[in-house]
Amino acid sequence: MIEAHGLTKKYGEKTAVDDISFTVRPGIVTGFLGPNGAGKSTTMRMIMGLDRPTAGTVTVNGRRYAQHASPLSQVGALLEARAVHPGRSAYQHLKVLAATHNIPAQRVHDVIGLTGLESVAKKRVGGFSLGMGQRLGIASALLGDPSTLILDEPVNGLDPEGVLWVRNLARYLASQGRTVFLSSHLMSEMALTADHVIVIGRGKILADSPMAAFVESASKRSVRVRTPRLSTLLPAVEAAGGVVRLSDDGAPEGDKVATVTGLDSPAIGEIALTNGIVLHELTPVASTLEEAYMELTADAVEYHAVDIHTPNTDGGQR
Amino acid sequence: MSAATPTASRPAAAGDPHFVSPFADEKVNFLRMLKAEWLKLWTLRSTWWTLTLTVVLMAGLALLFSAVIQIMINNPGGGFGPENGDAVAAGPDLSSVAVLVVVIGYQLAQLTIAILGVLVMSNEYGSGMIRATFSASPRRLRTLWAKLIVLTVTTVLVAVVGLALAWAVSYPILNNHGLTVDFGDASQVRAILGTVLYLIMVAWLALGVGTILRHTAGGISAVIGALMVLPMIFGLIVAVAPTVRWVGYINRALPSTAGEQLILGDAMVGFGPAGGGGAMASGGVAMLDPWVGFAVLAIYAVVALVVGAFVIKRRDA
The answer for residues whose C-beta is within 8 angstroms of residue A3's C-beta and 6 or more apart is A22, A23, A24, A58, A59, A62, B1, B5, B8, B12
Give the pLDDT confidence score for residue A57 in this predicted structure.
Answer: 97
Give the pLDDT confidence score for residue A302 in this predicted structure.
Answer: 63
Report percent pLDDT > 90 for chain A. 65
Dist. CA B212–CA B215, nearest whole Å: 9
Which carries the bigger pLDDT value, residue B274 or residue B150?
B150
Dist. CA B184–CA B94, nearest whole Å: 16
On whether the CB atoms of residues B112 and B120 are closer than 8 A, the answer is no
A171 CB within 8 Å of a chain B CB? no
Report DSSP state, residue A80: S
**Which segment of B75-79, B88-92, B132-136, B308-312 scores lowest on mean pLDDT?**
B88-92
Angle at A93 between CA A91 and CA A95, to 5 degrees: 70
Longest dimension (CA), chain B: 95
**Which segment of A131-145, B43-57, B89-103 scores lowest on mean pLDDT?**
B89-103
Dist. CA B158–CA B137, nearest whole Å: 28
Q: Which of A237, A219, A218 is nearest to A227 (CA)?
A: A237
How many Cβ atoms are within 10 Å of A56's Cβ, its own excluded? 16
Which carries the bigger pLDDT value, residue A92 or residue B4?
A92
Q: How far is B205 from chain A (nearest CA, A)?
A: 23
Report percent pLDDT > 90 for chain B. 69
In a 3-state reduction of DSSP, which class is residue B309?
helix
A134 CB within 8 Å of a chain B CB? no
Mean pLDDT, range B56-60, rounded to an integer: 97
Q: Which of A10, A14, A28 is nearest to A182 (CA)?
A: A28
Verify whether the Cβ–Cβ distance A51 to B2 is below 8 Å. no
Name chain A contacts of B138, Cβ cutoff 8 Å: 49, 65-66, 68, 71
Q: How far is B302 from chain A (nearest CA, A)?
A: 25
Residue B17 has pLDDT above 90, yes or no: no
B184 CB within 8 Å of a chain A CB? no
Confidence of residue B230 (pLDDT cuts 50, 70, 90): very high
Mean pLDDT, range B101-109, rounded to an integer: 95
How many Cβ atoms are within 10 Å of B211's Cβ, its own excluded? 29
Q: What are the structural domains, with CATH classification, of chain A?
A: 2-217 (3.40.50.300), 222-317 (no CATH)
**Which segment of A182-196, B47-61, B69-83 scores lowest on mean pLDDT?**
B69-83
Give the pLDDT confidence score for residue A312 in this predicted structure.
Answer: 45
For residue range B159-203, list pLDDT tens digits in order: 999 999 999 999 999 998 889 998 988 889 999 999 999 999 999
Dist. CA B297–CA B154, nearest whole Å: 20
Give the pLDDT confidence score for residue B84 in this predicted structure.
Answer: 45
Residue A301, exposed/middle/buried by CB under 10 A (0-12, 13-18, 19+)? middle
Verify whether the Cβ–Cβ distance A1 to B36 is below 8 Å. no
On whether the CB atoms of residues A182 and A151 are closer than 8 A, the answer is yes
Give the pLDDT confidence score for residue A289 in this predicted structure.
Answer: 87
Residue A190 has pLDDT above 50, yes or no: yes
Which carries the bigger pLDDT value, residue A293 or residue A88?
A88
Find, in chain B, the residue whose alpha carbon is nearest to that of A98.
Answer: B36
On whether the CB atoms of residues A40 and A34 are closer than 8 A, the answer is yes
Dist. CA A21–CA A296, nearest whole Å: 19
In a 3-state reduction of DSSP, which class is residue A306?
coil
Q: Which of A265, A162, A172, A173 is nearest to A223 (CA)?
A: A265
pTM reported for the whole predicted model = 0.85
Confidence of residue B90 (pLDDT cuts 50, 70, 90): very low
Mean pLDDT, range B50-67, rounded to an integer: 96
Residue B262 has pLDDT above 60, yes or no: yes
Residue A1 has pLDDT above 90, yes or no: yes
Q: Are strands A179-183 and A55-60 parallel, antiparallel or unpaired?
A: unpaired
Report DSSP state, residue A304: P
Give the pLDDT confidence score for residue A309 in this predicted structure.
Answer: 53
**Which segment of A73-87, B71-85, B227-241 scores lowest on mean pLDDT?**
B71-85
Give the pLDDT confidence score for residue B271 in this predicted structure.
Answer: 46
Give the pLDDT confidence score for residue B267 in this predicted structure.
Answer: 56
Q: Which of B33, B313, B306, B303 is nearest to B150 (CA)?
A: B33
B129 CB within 8 Å of a chain A CB? yes
Dist. CA B313–CA B234, nearest whole Å: 35
Q: Which of B273, B221, B230 is nearest to B251 (CA)?
A: B230
Q: Which of B222, B229, B217 is nearest to B206 (CA)?
A: B222
**Which segment of A102-106, A180-184, B235-239 scores lowest on mean pLDDT?**
B235-239
Q: Which amino acid is at B209?
A: V
Give the pLDDT confidence score for residue B276 in this predicted structure.
Answer: 39
Interface test with A, best of B2, B5, B7 (most A CBs within 10 A): B7
How many Cβ atoms are within 10 Å of A40's Cβ, its own excluded? 24
Which carries the bigger pLDDT value, residue B73 or residue A133?
A133
B19 CB within 8 Å of a chain A CB? yes
Residue A286 has pLDDT above 80, yes or no: no
Give the pLDDT confidence score for residue B136 in this predicted structure.
Answer: 97
Residue B86, exposed/middle/buried by CB under 10 A (0-12, 13-18, 19+)? exposed
Verify whether the Cβ–Cβ distance A73 to B21 is below 8 Å. yes
Report percent pLDDT > 70 for chain B. 85
Name chain A contacts of B124, Cβ cutoff 8 Å: 85
Q: Which amino acid is at B273?
A: P
| Partner residue facing B33 (CB), from A50, A100, A144 | A100
Dist. CA B62–CA B108, nearest whole Å: 11
A123 CB within 8 Å of a chain B CB? no
**Best-predicted range by mean pLDDT (A89-98, B257-266, B285-294):** A89-98
Q: What is the predicted ipTM? A: 0.86
Verify whether the Cβ–Cβ distance B44 to A49 is below 8 Å. no
Query: Mean pLDDT score of chain B, rounded to an integer?
Result: 87
Distances (CA, A) of B57 to A213, A264, B204: 70, 83, 20
For residue range A297-316, list pLDDT tens digits in order: 877 676 666 655 544 444 44
Dist. CA B234–CA B201, nearest whole Å: 21
Query: Mean pLDDT score of chain A, rounded to an integer?
Result: 89
In a 3-state reduction of DSSP, which class is residue A222?
strand
| Partner residue facing B39 (CB), from A23, A86, A99 | A99
Total beta-carbon pairs less than 8 A apart between chain A and chain B: 159
How many Cβ atoms are within 10 Å of A266's Cβ, its own excluded? 11
Q: Are strands A196-201 and A29-33 parallel, antiparallel or unpaired?
A: parallel
Give the pLDDT confidence score for residue B273 in this predicted structure.
Answer: 45
Name chain A contacts of B137, Cβ cutoff 8 Å: 71, 100
Name chain B contacts of A144, Cβ cutoff 8 Å: 21, 23
| Partner residue facing B123 (CB), from A45, A73, A85 | A85
Give the pLDDT confidence score for residue A255 in this predicted structure.
Answer: 73
The answer for residues whose C-beta is within 8 angstroms of residue B101's C-beta and 6 or more apart is B62, B65, B66, B69, B166, B170, B174
Mean pLDDT, range B211-217, rounded to an integer: 97
Q: What DSSP line would sit under A160-208, residue for residue?
A: HHHHHHHHHHHHHHHHTT-EEEEE-S-HHHHHHH-SEEEEEETTEEEEE
Chain A, window 273-292: residues with a beta carbon less than 8 angstroms from a chain B beta carbon: none
On whether the CB atoms of residues A261 and A221 are closer than 8 A, the answer is yes
Domain ranges for chain B: 45-73+92-314
Give the pLDDT confidence score for residue B302 in this predicted structure.
Answer: 98
Mean pLDDT, range B149-158, rounded to an integer: 98
Report percent pLDDT > 70 for chain A. 91
A137 CB within 8 Å of a chain B CB? no
